[in-house]
Structure 1
Amino acid sequence: MGEDNTVTAASRFTLQQGTRVLVQVPQQAAGRVLMAMLAVEPLGWGDYDQVAFTTCAGVQQFRSRPGARNAATEVAVEVACVELQVFVAKSGAALQSLITAIYHAHPYEEPVIQLIPAQRSCHVRGMDEDNPNRFWNQKSADWVPAAHR
């Protein structure tokens, strides 16, 4: 494994070790949390950066226990939240600045942050560019950003 955490190389892609970071956050605060993450980590993915995924809103539930900042509740309460998902080619103590940024920007006392060991694949630049399935080799689909049409 090299400095860039590359573990395997194939003619079309490489595999890298890292961490999948999932953060549940109220939808209104998701942009602020993502910007805080980007301030300390470029979220690179091959030739791209700022690569993140935000789910549709779902329901997060929790029950405050005695001693928490909020008043204890007898039953679980519900909050509409999204989940931010990113990959970083880091693990362990190397994640400290990213986690610190999330805690600073997140509105919760105890944010739900999951750190999952993961691998990702990244393309080898210049490979397979004439593939007819690539969006640039087809009539532009609606999902293709205007900047790439």
Structure 2
Amino acid sequence: MTLPKLDNDRFVPERGLRIIVQVPDSHAQRIVDAVLAEDALKYGDYDSVTYRTAPGTQQFRSLGSGRNAATEKVVEVPCVELSFFIGDDEANAVRVLKAIYASHPYEEPVVLVGPCLRTLHIRGLDEDNPNRFWNSDAEDWVPEEHR
């Protein structure tokens, strides 16, 4: 896959990998903690940057060729998706993926890895933009330290 260059004067594009993991919600933080032990998940001036969806339904049927017996019917499990970006470093990616496998409750976790571009702001630009949270009354989601 060829990714665009996105040359511009507003943000800096950076190549890397987007990793998506489907996991039962009760195990999601364990996965995040295992990943953070391998990579700080920096995103510009922030770290520990992950995204977790609301629970949805993952379905599967065991074929019986692995550790678990075959299931006659499809099984449904409430799961979330975790996603995050890591830099384009193969050795680091392998460490992160091994951490996911080691901390995931499934025999065959659903883990998707794809090349992507992320965009990082250029520090100091657009700070007077009226849409920035610091230029208006603080909303509930703004951390107390930033009010």
* Shared fold, TM over 0.5: yes
2:82 partner letter: L
Match of 1:106 among 91, 104, 112: 104
Counterparts of 1:93 and 1:116, CA distance in 2: 15
1:83 is matched with 81
Question: Of the candidates 44, 49, 61, which is equivalent to residue 42 of structure 2?
Answer: 44
Alignment of 1:1-149 (within 5 A): 9-90=7-88, 92-149=90-147
**For the residues of structure 1 that align with 2:8 and 2:71, how far apart are their CA atoms?**
53
For the aligned residue pairs, the C-alpha RMSD in angstroms reads 1.3
Find the aligned partners of 2:34 and 2:65 in 1 and give their Cα distance. 28
What CA distance in whole angstroms lies between the structure 2 residues aligned with 1:107 and 1:81? 12
Distance apart, 1:94 and its partner CA: 4.1
Identical aligned residues as a percent: 50
1:133 Cα deviation (Å)?
Answer: 0.9
Cα distance in structure 1, aligned partners of 2:109 and 2:143: 32
CA distance, structure 1, for counterparts of residue 90 and residue 114 of structure 2: 11
| Maintained 8 Å contact 1:91/1:117 | no
Aligned residues: 143
The TM-score normalised by the length of structure 1 is: 0.91
Detail structure 1 runs of 4+ shifted over 3 Å in the superposition: 91-94
Q: Distance in 2 between matches of 1:57 and 1:127?
A: 37
Segments of structure 2 that go 5 or more residues without pairing to the other structure are none
> Secondary structure at the residue paired with 2:37?
helix
Aligned-pair CA distance for 1:11? 2.2
Indicate conservation of the 8 Å contact 1:25/1:82, yes or no.
yes
Q: Is the 8 A contact 1:19 1:117 kept in 2?
A: yes
CA distance in 2: counterparts of 1:9 and 1:148, whole angstroms: 31
1:68 Cα deviation from its structure 2 partner: 1.5
| C-alpha separation in 2, matches of 1:125 and 1:73 | 54
Q: Distance in 1 between matches of 2:23 and 2:32?
A: 10
CA shift, 1:116, in A, is 1.3
SS in 2 for 1:40: coil
Aligned to 1:3: none
In the aligned structure 1, how far is the partner of 2:77 from the partner of 2:15?
Answer: 33
Amino acid at match of 1:41: D
